[in-house]
Structure 1
Amino acid sequence: MEQVEEFFTKLLLADDWPARWLCGEWTSFHGWLYITSDIAIWLAYFVIPAIIIFFTQKRHNLPFLPVFWLFGAFIILCGSTHLIDALMFWWPGYRLSALLRLLTALVSLATSFVLIRDLPKLIAVKPKDELKTYQLEKQLIQYEKEILELKTLLNSKKE
C-alpha cells in the first residue's frame, strides 16, 4: 500500500529516471524518427475520435452508441500513450505513462467485453432494412407536406 501511495504522490515527478535521450545511444535520426512517429500516431488517434463524435452527432437514433464512446475512449487513451512516449525524450514521466497504460488496458478490456456481448445484436442489424425505413420515413414526410399544401389550397378556394 505504501508503494501505491508513493506512486500517486509522485505521479508527475520525473526525477527518478533520466530522459530517454540519455538512456542508451540514440542517434539524432533514430530519436527524431521515434518522436515524430509517436506524435503522428497521437495526432491520428485524436482525429479519429473527433470523426466518431461528429458522426454520432449527425446520425440520430444510432444503435449501440456506448460502443462508439468506448471506441473513442480507447483510441484517445492509445494515442495518449504515444504522446507520453514522445515526451519521455525530455520528461521521463514513467508513472504517468504507467497510469495511462493501465487506463488504456481497462478501457480496452471494457470495449472488448462490450463488443463480445453485443456481437450477436450487431450481426442481427439489417442495414438495408434500416436504410429502406429511413427512405420511407423521408418520403412520408414529403407526402405529408404535399397533403398539407393541398388542404391549404382547397381551404383557400372555399373562402
Structure 2
Amino acid sequence: MDQLIDFFKNLFSANDWPARWVCGEWSTFHGWLYITSDIAIWLAYFVIPAIIIFFIQKRHNLPFLPVFWLFGAFIILCGSTHLIDAVMFYWPAYRLSGLLRLLTAAVSLATAFVLIRDLPKLIKSKPEDKLKTYQLEKQLEKYEAEIIELKQRLNSKN
C-alpha cells in the first residue's frame, strides 16, 4: 500500500529517472525519429476522435452510441501514450506513463468486451440508410400501382 501511495504522491515527479536523451546512445537522428513519429501518431490519434465526435453530433439516433464513445476514449488514450513517450525525451514522467498505459489497457479491454458483447446485435441491425431505402422503394411501388390504376380508369372512360 505504501508503494501505491508513493506512486500517486510522486505521479508528476521525474526525479527518479534521467530523460531519454541521456539514457543510452541516442543519435540526434534516432532521437528525433522517435519524437517526431510519436508526435505524428499522437496527432492522428487526436484527430480521429474529433472526427468521430463530429460524426456523432451530425447523426442523431445513432445506434450503439457507447461503442463510439469507447472507441474515442481508446484512441485518445493510445495517442496519449505516444505523446508521453515523446515528452519523456525531456521530462522522464515514467509514473505518469505507467498510469496512462494502465488506463489505456482498461479502456482497451472494455472496448473489446463491449464489441464482443454487441457484435451479434450489430450484425443483425439494419443500417438506417438501407431501412430508408427499403421504405422509399415500398412507397414508390405504391405510387406506381396508383399511377397504373389511374391510367386504367382514364383509358376506360375514353
**Given the two structures, how large is their TM-score scaled by the length of structure 2?**
0.83
What pairs with 1:8-157 in structure 2 (closer than 5 Å)?
A: 8-127=8-127, 130-134=128-132, 136=135
- In 1, the alpha carbon distance for the partners of 2:129 and 2:99 equals 43
The one-letter amino acid paired with 1:119 is L
Query: What RMSD over aligned residues (CA atoms) do the two structures have, in Å?
Result: 1.3
User: 2: distance between equivalents of 1:52 and 1:37?
Assistant: 23
User: How many angstroms does 1:131 deviate by?
Assistant: 1.4
Q: Which runs of 4 or more aligned residues in structure 1 lie more than 6 Å from their structure 2 counterparts after TM superposition?
A: none
Post-superposition Cα deviations, 1:81-106, rounded to whole Å, max 9, x if no partner, equal: 00000000000000000000000000
CA distance in 2, matches of 1:37, 1:86: 8
Q: Percent identity?
A: 79
- Considering only CA atoms, is the larger Rg found in Structure 1 or Structure 2? 2
Match of 2:143 in 1: none
Q: What is the total number of aligned residue pairs between the two structures?
A: 136
2:13 alignment partner, SS class: coil
How big is the shift at 1:134?
3.4
Q: Distance in 1 between matches of 2:102 and 2:76?
A: 13
Cα distance in 1 for residues equivalent to 2:18 and 2:37: 21
Is there any run of 5+ residues in structure 2 with no aligned partner, and where?
140-158
Instruction: Note the residue ranges of structure 1 that are not aligned, 5 or more in a row.
Output: 141-159
CA distance in 2, matches of 1:109, 1:87: 26
* Post-superposition offset of 1:132: 4.3
Letter in 2 for 1:104: T
Measure, in 1, the Cα distance between the counterparts of 2:25 and 2:106.
34
Q: TM-score, normalised by structure 1?
A: 0.82
The AA in structure 2 aligned to 1:11 is L
SS of 2:60's equivalent in the other structure is: coil
